[in-house]
Amino acid sequence: MDLFLDILVAILLVVGCLMSLIAGIGLLTFPDMLTRMHAATKPQVLGFLLIFAGLAIHLRSWAVIPVLVLAWGMQLLTAPVSAHMIGRSGYRTKHAAKETLFSDELSLVVNKVNSTPPTGATPITKDQPGENQN
C-alpha cells in the first residue's frame, strides 16, 4: 500500500509541477497580455491543487489538510480576481490587442464611462446669475 501511495504522490507532484511549468512557458511565449494572463491563471491553479493533493497524501496527517485547503482556496480566489483586474487595466491603458478579440463586450462599458462628464466641483465663473456683483 505504501508503494502505491508513493507512486500516486510522485505522479501528482510531477503533473502539478508540469502544469506550473506550462504556465511559465505560456507567460514567456504567448504574444499579448490577455493570452499571457490566461496562461498564468488556469494551469497554475490546477497545478497547485495537484501539488497540494500530493503533499497531503505524502504527509498523511489530518493536521496539514486544513492548511493546504486554505492555501489552495486563497490561490483559487486571488488568481482569477487579479487576472481580471490586470486584464481590465490593460484594456483601458491600450495594452490589450483589441484586434485579436473575438467579441469585445467591454468596449460598450468603457465608452459609456468615458462619455459621461467627470464628477466633482464645477468651476465658478464671474457672470453666473444669483451672485452678488460689486
Question: Which residue, among 93, 111, 95, has the nearest Cα to 37 in the 3D structure?
Answer: 95
pLDDT of residue 13: 96
Instruction: Give the burial string for 67-86 (b: 16+ CB within 10 Å, else e).
Output: ebeeebeebeeebeeebeeb
pLDDT of residue 95: 75
Could you list the pLDDT tens digit for every one of the 134 residues in the chain?
889 999 999 999 999 999 999 988 988 998 888 888 888 888 888 999 999 999 999 998 889 999 999 999 998 888 888 888 888 888 778 777 777 777 777 777 777 777 766 666 666 666 655 555 55
